Structure 1
Amino acid sequence: MPHIEITNNLPGISGLMAQRPDTGRVLSAVAETLLRSGPSPLSRGERELIAAYVSHLNRTDFCADSHGAFAAAQLDGGAELVAAVRADVATAPVSPLLKALLEVAAEVQAKAAPVSDEAIAAARAAGATDTHLHDTVLITAAFSMFNRYVNGLATDVPADPAYYDFAADLIVEHGYGAALAT
């Protein structure tokens, strides 16, 4: 049961954004920029995978499952790939670069401290540029905030897994602004 009254039937951050459209519009714009429209050497699917992985590490089921579905819809390997990353990044069938960036994300998620020199060196050895590192750290930081927003207010999680497929279709086709408009 949510800690605040939510006067719509939307789960997770969707309900919070619809409840407070003033802040919802800003948060939606942040997600749109970081995950879809902003320039990045990472594909939309890779950015969503980072968001899903961080949300999984933060034990935020709604965000992990939502962004996992968004990643799956945009990456070769689909849901199986997302599940493999959530289970064990080291053995997941992703590129060495993406593995290294996911390790950077895990360090950022775990503590508010500089990423280790070793993780940065591994990412650089796998081909990471300054922009790869910047985008990975920023996505991780933003999703740590989003996850705390969702978990802190104990928002509802959809009972029907089909919700995530519907949401993925909407986000992949129309972006985060469309989700707020529904």
Structure 2
Amino acid sequence: MAHIDLGLDEQAHPGINGLARYRPETGALLQDLADALLHAPHPTLSQGERELIAAYVSDLNACTFCCESHSAFAAAQLPAGMPLVRQVREDLDAAPVEAKLRALLRIAGAVQRSGREVTTELVEAARVEGATDLEIHDAVLIAAAFCMFNRYVDGLGTVAPADPAGYTRAAEHIVAHGYATR
């Protein structure tokens, strides 16, 4: 049960979904932000790769709802599916991802600890692997946004369903329609 009364069935509207219904004026803005970062067209990073960054940061933040949600969303959009997502979350260095994506995930992990942890060396390593300034920018922004989303969801003690099937069903909707409600 959330720390505050959201005035709704939290099992039917877990995590950030219930918070968006509680405060629709801010919820719509947050959903638009998630849509722009994760679902909208991107010149080089796939939706699955961007979702993987969100899942990875959410795992580092130990935010169950966001980690499970975005893991399912990434898995639905990456050819290697959930096994790859789990490998990245468990051991980024051993996970079978392209070097550029690994470098962007390292930058995202640094952001999760502190924005000041993003060093010139991390950025240069990403560039060596072919990352563009836009990709570096977006990896930092996704990581920073998910630190906020994770703290919002956990700071208000929202419900995180235990059944993975719910996250899989939500993934079908997100893949087809994105996050924006307007």
After superposition, what is the alpha-carbon deviation per residue over 1:117-161, rounded to whole angstroms, capped at 9, x for unaligned?
Answer: 221111011001100100000001111100010010010111322
8 Å contact from structure 1 (residues 51, 140) kept in 2:
yes
Counterpart of 1:164?
Answer: 167
TM-score with structure 1 length normalisation? 0.95
Look up the equivalent residue of 1:159 and give its one-letter code.
Answer: A
Structure 1 ranges of 4+ moved more than 4 A? none
In structure 2, what is the Cα distance between the partners aligned to 1:18 and 1:132? Answer: 32
8 Å contact from structure 1 (residues 61, 157) kept in 2:
yes
**Unmatched runs of 5 consecutive residues or more in structure 1:** none
Taking only aligned residues, the RMSD between alpha carbons, in angstroms, comes to 1.2
8 Å contact from structure 1 (residues 66, 164) kept in 2:
yes
Aligned partner of 1:139 among 128, 142, 147: 142
Look up the equivalent residue of 2:23 and give its one-letter code.
Answer: R
TM-score with structure 2 length normalisation? 0.95
Q: Which 10-residue stretch deviates more, 125-134 or 1-10?
A: 1-10
- Measured after TM superposition, the shift of residue 112 of structure 1 is 2.9
Counterpart of 2:97?
Answer: 94
Given the alignment of the two structures, is residue 149 of structure 1 paired with residue 148 of structure 2, yes or no? no
- Measured after TM superposition, the shift of residue 116 of structure 1 is 1.1
Aligned partner of 2:69 among 61, 66, 69: 66
Given the alignment of the two structures, is residue 175 of structure 1 paired with residue 181 of structure 2, yes or no? no
Look up the equivalent residue of 1:169 and give its one-letter code.
Answer: E
In structure 2, what is the Cα distance between the partners aligned to 1:40 and 1:65? Answer: 26
Look up the equivalent residue of 2:5 and give its one-letter code.
Answer: E
After superposition, what is the alpha-carbon deviation per residue over 1:45-101, rounded to whole angstroms, capped at 9, x for unaligned?
Answer: 000000000000011010000000000000011000000000011010110000000
Q: Which 10-residue stretch deviates more, 156-165 or 74-83?
A: 156-165
8 Å contact from structure 1 (residues 45, 70) kept in 2:
yes
**Unmatched runs of 5 consecutive residues or more in structure 2:** none
Counterpart of 2:109?
Answer: 106
Counterpart of 2:6?
Answer: 6
> Aligned with 1:127: secondary structure?
coil
Residues paired across the two proteins, number: 179
In structure 1, what is the Cα distance between the partners aligned to 2:115 and 2:135? Answer: 19
8 Å contact from structure 1 (residues 35, 47) kept in 2:
yes
